[in-house]
Amino acid sequence: MAIASREFNELRLDEVSRKFGNLNALNGVNLTIRRGEFIALLGPSGCGKSTALNCLAGLLQLTSGSIWLDDKRIDLLRPEERSFGMVFQNYALFPHMNVRKNIGFGLKMKGETKANTERKIDEALALVRLGAQGEKLPGQLSGGQQQRVAIARAIAIEPPLVLMDEPLSNLDAKLRLEMRAEIRRIHTMLGATTIYVTHDQDEALSLADRIVVMSDGQVRQVGTPEELYARPSRADVAEFMGYRNLIRATASARPDGQMAIMVGGTPVTGHAINVVAGAPAVAAIRPDDLSPHPEGAIIATVESAEYRGRDFYGIAKMESGQELYFRSEDKVSQGETLKLGADPRRVLIYAETAA
Amino acid sequence: MNALTDTFEDGRRAASTQKRPLRMRLAQRGFDGVTLLMLPAVLFVILLFVYPFMYGLFLSFEPKKMATEGIFANYITFFNDPFLFDTIWKTLRLAVPVSILNVALSIPIAMRVRLMRRQRLLTTILVIPITLGTVLIAEGLLNYLGPQGWLNRTLITFHLIDGPIRLVHNYAGVFLSLLISGFPFTFLLTLSYVTGIDPSLEQAASTLGANARARFRYVILPLLAQGLAIAFCLTFVQMFSVFPSAVLLGEPAGSTRVISIAAYVAAFEEYDYSMASAIAMIMGFVQLLIVVLILASRHIFYRGPAGGAKG
Amino acid sequence: MTQHQPASEKLWSTVIWVLVIFFVINLFAMIASVVVSSFGTRWLGTWLPAGLTTRWYSSAWDEFQLGEVLIVTFQVVGAVVFFCGVLGVPAAYALARRDFPGKNIVMLLLLLPMMAPPITFGIPLATVLYQTGFGGTLSGVILANLVPTVPFVVLIMIPFIEQIDERVEAAARVFGAGTWSLFRYILLPMLAPGILAALLLVLVRTIAMFELTFFTAGPANQTLVVALYYAVNAAGVRAVQSIDAMAVVYMVTTLVWLLIALRFVNPTQIVARAKRSDAH
């Protein structure tokens, strides 16, 4: 099975906006997606990622802007005229149809011949490894199986674009890992362009070719998982990508070309992203990279700590009152005063934004 | 395919003017193909309910005697002719006591029945008289309440009465038939409101030391007031429009000449549709008046969900 | 609630049960007296008739032309049920799924014919129907009976539709279903139990609907309940037992459908249908 029909080169969102009353759920989103890419829309709840997906599917209409498939404008088409595949958060399987009918529904609507429909259902069932379950009703399947049916239904119509709306959020942790691998495998096999909405950065990092980080209805950064993990372009993106410690202070230049911020009189050195000396700045550090160190610049008192296998993870309070998340190889106890430090290559320093 | 090309054309135009097509702008306000699905039903109701009602209203101001007595002739006749005007009191004399009795009986019984695990048998039995309707009940009561009927026989056998008492073709017959047809309706309605009250509220009250009477007075009744007001209104409106039983079981020319009989006679025996419409309007107005009075008094009570946290 | 109850509460609950049982006994006795009478030969001044017979049924069948009356009744009921479904279900869908300016007015418009007693609007309605030539015809009877039942179907279907996950419909649309396919393949099968329940209730109500049919029917298109009314009203012309036989035919017709309906709905739904609909 291949996505031979209806190929396209790029999908383009042009100044896409959607308002709900006075709320700007999407605010001038521009995005270009190339054929065959696996794109993750990542962001906290309410950031507009699901709105964006629903606008792509045609379930929501734009307030302004346009969506283009090469040079064909699609945002004015009804959802049933777009022929995209979609996997819904709660699967949205048709409860009164068995698995085969669910998967064949889109083909039937397209007026596919009976023989072709049956063949494509068989292929889709084989692809999601549900060959034996074809006659069952969705209510008789486990969550993971329902998920597979939902995926099979979305790919059976051989869509140019597959949309997935937090498809794994209803599964337990173990099944989620398993399905994540399945989704990646199916994508690799079919090469269908996929847009995947999630609030889970691990999912986005492991699945996507490119990640689109959104907040407040706007695209904040687009990049490969590696870029986003190592070099978030903004402090808020960094925070969402796991840089839980944000320390605010004034930036100062270092002779070796690096930047530092002053915390309690001692400098914390880091990699400058977009900051000039003398301006207010934010240093972002992952909990994993912040550990007790003899030359650590940050003095903080342990509030609580828990053992998580190899290491201890804890919260410590600085003199300013700010709480920091840190990792320690040795046991720490409450009330203990630590000197915390981080490898300058792992510290990112941003300009403080007005927000 | 036409629709598709149309939208495409629309799209071109929209892209140039940056204005969405009308279809989409309407859809954002909630008007689209789906919304239009309600049009047939709404048109039907307008055509066969609103229009006839308006027609009746205007017709009532075009009396047969318009030339001599003006447009209000029907209403003047109604309120001056005791034979017509008294029908209001005769109807109220039936409807008000029966409605009050029905609601008063329904509350304690519903309170009790909601504790039952197998309510279905009782509710099923009570649905039977509603389903059979007033004509059948009137026919049954003619047999049952008649001088030779089982009720009088039983009462005589137990020496509760000496001779048969007259229960048909008078006020009592209509009253009893309204009780039999009306009580199940009021009861089932009340039951649905009573069971809508979260039982944990009453349990909470009892842990705070409220006895059954106090629980009812301070917890159940305030939550139930709104439902009871509606139950009373719906019961009253039905009782006020009593028709077949008043004819079959009552004295249609005397003590149970209710307002619907007057309307019927005007329309289908005297063929004075104008007068009949006037009487129907008066009937509707009295019903509305009582309903508005009851619902207005309901503002005194708590209004909101009766199910605790969840509405 | 196994703990000790005060004597007053016990007395109270006894009183309530006596009331309920008294009501139910009288109700059944009333129905039984009709049934016994319809099978009795001579019944004067005794507890039970002198003998049993079924001849009243054949005489009632001939005297009241019950065959024709039943045919008319089922024609009316069938047509009312059909048009209620066709008009009511799509309207319920629109009202369940869309918010639009003026929705409250539409809801009120639908609530009124259902709540207003048929007598009140029946006379103006009959007047209009006679003016337009529908009065006294089968179509007129059907139209009149649709007035309270179409809103009834709409209001009873709205909660049924609201409980269907909207994302299932979104899925159908995404996979290429237009409005008609959505109805045909998704909504109709999923709503079938609700539609069945609503239409069965309409059926029972229409068989028993007296006033509207009485006002609009001509001699040739009376339904069973109207024929029964005329028979009872003209008592003395026919034997009482004959009328009772007809009443039993009417009861059986109604109760059979009621029993079928009760397999799908809760009895309280028959009266409390619009319980939550005014909250929307």
Which residues, in sequence order, are CB contacts of C78 under 8 Å at separation 6+? Answer: none
- A-C CB pairs within 8 A amount to 66
d(CA C198, CA B252): 36
In angstroms, rounded to a whole number, what is the distance separating the alpha carbons of residues C213 and B139?
18
CB-CB under 8 Å, B27 with A76: no
Residue B9 has pLDDT above 70, yes or no: no
Task: Determine the pLDDT at residue A355.
Answer: 45
Q: Kindly state whether B190 is in contact with chain C, defined as any CB-CB distance less than 8 angstroms.
A: no
Residues counted in chain B = 311
The pLDDT value given to residue B10: 44
Cβ atoms of residues B147 and B169 within 8 Å: no
CA angle C109–C134–C235, rounded 5-degree value:
100
Contact B59, B274 (CB under 8 A): yes
Q: Which are the contacts of A4, defined by CB distance < 8 A and separation ≥ 6?
A: A158
**Nearest-CA distance from C278 to chain A in Å?**
25
Q: Is the pLDDT of residue C274 over 60?
A: no
pLDDT at C189 over 80: yes
List CB contacts (< 8 A) between B9 and chain A. none
Q: What is the DSSP string of B24-42?
A: HHHHHTT-SHHHHTTHHHH
pLDDT tens digits along B162-216:
888 899 999 999 999 999 999 999 998 899 888 888 888 888 888 888 888 888 8
Nearest-neighbour CA in chain A from B29: distance (Å): 11
Domain total for chain C? 2
Using an 8 Å Cβ cutoff, are C43 and C37 in contact? Answer: yes
pLDDT of residue B217: 87
Residue C196 lies in a domain: yes
Which range, of A149-158, A225-234, B20-29, B52-61, averages the lowest pLDDT?
B20-29
List the structure tokens of B153.
């026989």
Contact A82, A58 (CB under 8 A): yes
Instruction: Say what the pLDDT of residue C4 is.
Output: 60
A78 to chain B, closest Cα gap in Å? 9
pLDDT given for residue A270 in this prediction: 83
Instruction: Determine the residue type at C97.
Output: R
Contact (CB, 8 A) for A33 and A52:
no
Q: CA A286 to CA A290: how far, in whole Å?
A: 7
Q: How far apart, in whole angstroms, are the C-alpha atoms of residue C249 and residue C245?
A: 6
Do C75 and C178 reside in the same domain of the chain?
yes
Q: Please state the rounded mean pLDDT for residues B149-164.
A: 88
- CATH number for the domain spanning C86: value is 1.10.3720.10
Same domain? For C111 and C191 the reply is yes
CA-closest candidate to residue B181, choices B244, B93, B230, B113: B244
C229 Cβ partners below 8 Å, 6+ apart? B135, B244, B248, C210, C214
Q: Average pLDDT of C33-47?
A: 84
Q: Which residues pair with B250 in a beta bridge?
A: none
Determine the structural domain holding residue C4 and report its residue range.
1-37
CB-CB under 8 Å, C244 with B38: no
Over residues B50-66, the mean pLDDT reads 90
Do C208 and C149 fall into the same domain?
A: yes
Higher pLDDT, C211 or B70: C211
Q: Choose the mutation target among C64, C123, C229 for the interface with B, i.e. most B CBs under 10 Å.
A: C123
Same domain? For C190 and C245 the reply is yes
Whole-number Å distance between alpha carbons of C37 and C40:
5
Determine the distance in angstroms separating the CA of A74 from the nearest CA of chain B, rounded to an integer: 9
CB half-sphere exposure, B181, CA atoms < 13 A: 27
Task: State both tokens at B91.
Answer: 């109807």
Helices marked H in chain C: 7-39, 55-63, 66-97, 103-115, 118-131, 138-162, 166-174, 179-181, 188-208, 211-216, 224-233, 240-262, 267-271
Cβ count near B178 (within 10 Å): 26
Q: How far is B19 from chain A (nearest CA, A)?
A: 8
In three-state secondary structure terms, A317 is strand
Range picked from B23-37, C30-44, C66-80 for highest mean pLDDT: C66-80
Is the domain of C128 the same as that of C248? yes
> Which pLDDT value is given to residue B36?
87
Side chain identity at A246, as an amino acid letter?
Answer: L
- From chain C, pick out residues whose CB is under 8 angstroms from the CB of B115: 1
Q: Taking 50 as the threshold, does the pLDDT of residue B17 lie above it?
A: no
On the question of pLDDT at C174 being above 80, the answer is: yes
Closest chain C C-alpha to A127 CA, distance in angstroms: 19
Tell me which range, A222-226, A254-258, B295-299, C194-198, is most confidently predicted by mean pLDDT. A222-226
Partnered with residue A274 across adjacent β-strands are: A350
| Domain shared by C77 and C207, yes or no | yes
Contact residues, chain A, for B14 at CB < 8 Å: 76
Residues 261 through 290 of chain B touching chain C, CB cutoff 8 Å: 263-264, 267-268, 273, 276-277, 279-280, 283-284, 287
Report the DSSP beta bridge partners of residue A280: A250
Q: Is A57 on the interface with C (CB under 8 A)?
A: yes
- pLDDT tier at B308 (50, 70, 90 boundaries)? very low
H-run or E-run covering A249? strand A245-253
Spell out the domain ranges in chain B: 1-27, 80-300
Residue B119 scores a pLDDT above 90? no
Q: What percent of chain C has pLDDT over 70?
A: 94
User: Which of the residues A54, A96, A158 would you substitute to probe the C interface, choosing the one with the greatest number of C C-beta atoms within 10 Å?
Assistant: A96
Residue A259, strand partner residues: A253, A270
Average pLDDT over residues C70-96: 95
Beta partners for residue A271, in sequence order: A348
Alpha-helical segments (H) within B146-272:
150-157, 171-194, 199-207, 212-215, 221-240, 244-248, 259-264
Residue of B nearest to A65 (CA): B18
C48/B192 Cα distance (integer angstroms): 40
Helices and strands in chain C, H and E counts = 13, 0
Residue C45 lies in a domain: no
Residue B8: which pLDDT band, with cuts at 50, 70 and 90?
Answer: very low
Which residues of chain C are at the A interface, by a Cβ-Cβ cutoff of 8 Å? 165, 167-168, 170-178, 181, 185-186, 189-190
**Confidence (pLDDT) at B11:** 43
C250 and B180 within 8 Å at the Cβ level: the answer is no
CB–CB contact A78 C178 (8 Å): yes
- Extract the residue ranges of chain A whose pLDDT is less than 50: 1-5, 355
B31 close to A (CB below 8 A): no
| Nearest CA among A190, A120, A199, A182 for reference residue A162 | A190
Q: Are B59 and C123 in contact (CB under 8 A)?
A: no
Percent of chain B clearing pLDDT 70 (strictly above):
88
Please answer whether residues A281 and A322 qualify as being in contact, where contact means their C-beta atoms are separated by less than 8 angstroms.
no
| Residue C213 domain flag | yes
Other CB atoms closer than 10 Å to residue A72's CB: what's the count?
A: 11
Question: Looking at chain C, how many residues does it have?
Answer: 280
Quick check: A81 and B8 CB within 8 A? no
Chain C contact present for A86, CB below 8 A: yes
Within 8 A by CB and 6+ apart from A266, the residues are: A297, A298
Cα(A243)–Cα(A236) distance, integer angstroms: 9
Q: Indicate the residue type of A284.
A: A
**In-domain check, residue C172:** yes
Mutate which: B131, B160, B169, B303, vs C, most C CBs within 10 A: B131
Inspect the interface and report whether the beta carbons of B8 and A76 lie closer than 8 Å.
Answer: yes
Interval C204-223: pLDDT, tens: 989 999 999 999 998 888 99
Give the number of other CB atoms < 10 A from CB of residue B221: 14
- Asked if A78 lies within 8 A of B7 by C-beta distance, the reply is yes
Quote the pLDDT of residue A6. 57
Q: What is the pLDDT of residue C5?
A: 65
| Residue A42: per-residue pLDDT | 94
Three-state secondary structure call for residue A300 = strand
Determine the pLDDT at residue B124: 87
User: Which pLDDT score, from 0 to 100, does residue C10 have?
Assistant: 84
Same-domain status, C202 and C125: yes
Binary contact (B4, A66; C-beta < 8 A): no
Tokens standing for residue B286: 């009295």
A73, closest residue in chain B (CA to CA) = B11
Residues C140 and C255 in one domain: yes
The answer to whether residue C2 scores a pLDDT higher than 80 is: no
pLDDT per residue over B128-150, tens digit each? Answer: 898 888 899 999 999 899 888 89
Nearest to B134 by CA among C18, C254, C23, C270: C254
Q: Are the C-beta atoms of residues B176 and C30 closer than 8 Å to each other? A: no
Alpha-carbon distance B81 to B146, whole Å?
33
| Residue B6: predicted pLDDT | 43
Question: Mutate which of C30, C84, C143, C277 to test chain B, going by most B C-beta atoms within 10 A?
Answer: C30
3-class DSSP state of A307: strand
Q: Residues C74, C146: one domain?
A: yes
| Chains within contact range of chain B (3+ C-beta pairs < 8 Å) | A, C
B297/C contact by beta carbon, under 8 A: no
Amino acid code (one letter) for C184: R
Contact partners of A by the rule of 3+ C-beta pairs under 8 A? B, C
Right CATH number for B80-300 from 1.10.10.10, 1.10.3720.10, 3.40.1440.60, 3.90.1150.10?
Answer: 1.10.3720.10
Taking the C-alpha atoms of residue B9 and residue B2, their distance in angstroms, rounded to an integer, is 11
Query: Residue C42 domain-assigned?
Result: no
Q: What is the pLDDT of residue C164?
A: 87
CB-count exposure of residue C24 (10 Å: 0-12, 13-18, 19+): middle
Tell me how many residue pairs between chain A and chain B have CB atoms under 8 A apart. Answer: 26
CA distance C252 to chain B (A): 10
